[in-house]
Structure 1
Amino acid sequence: MGTDETPGAGPRVTLEGFLRARRDRVRPDDVGLATSGRRRVPGLRREEVAILAGVSTDYYMRLEQGRERHPSPQVLDALARALLLDEEATDHLRRLALSDGRRGRGSRRSGRVGPHLLRLLDRWGDTPAFVIGPTLDLVARNRLAEALYADFTITDNLARMTFLDPAARDFHRDWNRAADAVVAELHKAAGLRLDDPRLNGLVGELSLKSTDFRVLWSRHDVRGKSGGTKRLYHRTVGDLDLHYESFTVNDTEGQQLVVYQAEPGSPSEEALALLGSLHTAYPVTGSEPGAGERPART
């Protein structure tokens, strides 16, 4: 699976697990290696990675077995090239190597949002905006964001919402893409916060309850939230094509402000305006993640 299992917690992210998972995803022809006959591994063999990275097979095997934990920066860069890692995955590889088994700083489950940021959210009446914590807990949202997620029963965490709430399959018109992004964001968080109890508990819960999550987690994709497009469906106003941007909240470690926008004059802008007019009763909320679920609407 590419992760190490710890009793009572989610699959741990380790250097050896990351290397195994990413090696399985590189085909010989991706890196210009000739193949012949039947292969017993889905990707590269260990000795092939060693050759590409310019290290001995024995040394690389010790890395994958967790018996060598001090690869040099030069070796890490060579492994990144051999495994065709992008910039974010390479940074993740370096963090895992530098951690050397040390515990990361734990994140608090109940994030707090400053009053000035809450007032800013309140002023954005025509665009959904919310604040997430380092493990994708929704810690605050404005009225329109509350209305946007009104079909969900689970409302405390974007990952739990995506994988455990049936509403997500309709809400995300491209659910597979949304699920990929959520898991990649959690993997990045895991590299930054090794052995974070909150993150381990979340990954453990999702691994137990969702086969889709387990499969995606084993791929070790790494990607942060920056900006992009969302193709959504709201049962009241229909399809929504939105662009989002995320911004670091500098005075609170790990928090991000996420803002959705519709193209001016587009049907999605009209739909958002209608959604806002239908849900004016929603207040701006600074939520306490862990309330988790609300009664289903009838």
Structure 2
Amino acid sequence: MSDDDDLRRVAAALNAGPPAGFVAARKAAAGAAPALGARIARLQKPAAAAAAIDALVASDPAPVDALAEVGERLRTAEEEGDASALRSLASDRRQAVAAATRATIELSTGAGSSVSGSTRDAIDACFQAAVLSPEAFAAVRSGLLVKPLTPGSDPAEATALPIDPAAVPSPTVAGRGAARRSLGAGEGAGAGARAAERKKARAAAERAEREAADAAAALSDAESELTSAHSARNEARAHRDALRRELAALDDQASTLDTALAEAQSSRRTAATAERAARTRAAALRRKAP
């Protein structure tokens, strides 16, 4: 076994372990293999979604392998222009991706790791990419994933070490590699044209997936903005109603004060009249006095 093979084996074991213990396990592995210590120490810690997928590949790769089988049938249907098969396979694809995502989450939660909504979405998108692209599937199936893929992203940037799709332990992927090598040896212009059409159809499908993902993100943003707008409107209405109640209370207070003022003015007029009458009587009495 070569140093590269040993490094892949160590990287896969680290990625499949508990994410919280990755750094300590990497340090221990580097110390246990001095010849590879420096290369092991540079291995990247996987993101949460990637670590969960690597753990599934190490524990039970069957749900992941099912993605390759669906992907192969999709590409065959696209090559043959079989619309009926494509419609049927759309459901198969959803079911395969959902099953792989569910298995990944169940394994993670069973091991005591919580899975957030964003991590769940990243796992799902990664498996979508694995169905659409043999190279993406090879990265996922390698057990060396360090960041989750999305449809159309570069698988070469998602793994701890370079991946050879033909070396990935999947009969489906290996079969596709043999077919490509045979085609390269010269199966004729017709086979080359079909391969080109398949590549074009695959690119179109990946573009559609990206557009759908962008549309879903835009819809999510719009819904968030709408929720915020509803909340702001409700707060404004509540503030307006509170101001109206305060204004009504002030109106009542002003009316009460107006009544009190009118009564006070009336009392003052009555008192002034009484004062004048008293002064008049007093003056009259002084004039009559001897």
TM tier, smaller: under 0.3
Provide the TM-score with structure 1 as the length reference: 0.22
Q: Normalising by structure 2, what TM-score?
A: 0.22
Structure whose residues are more often helix by fraction: 2
Which of the two has higher C-alpha Rg? Answer: 2
Whose strand proportion is higher, 1 or 2?
Answer: 1
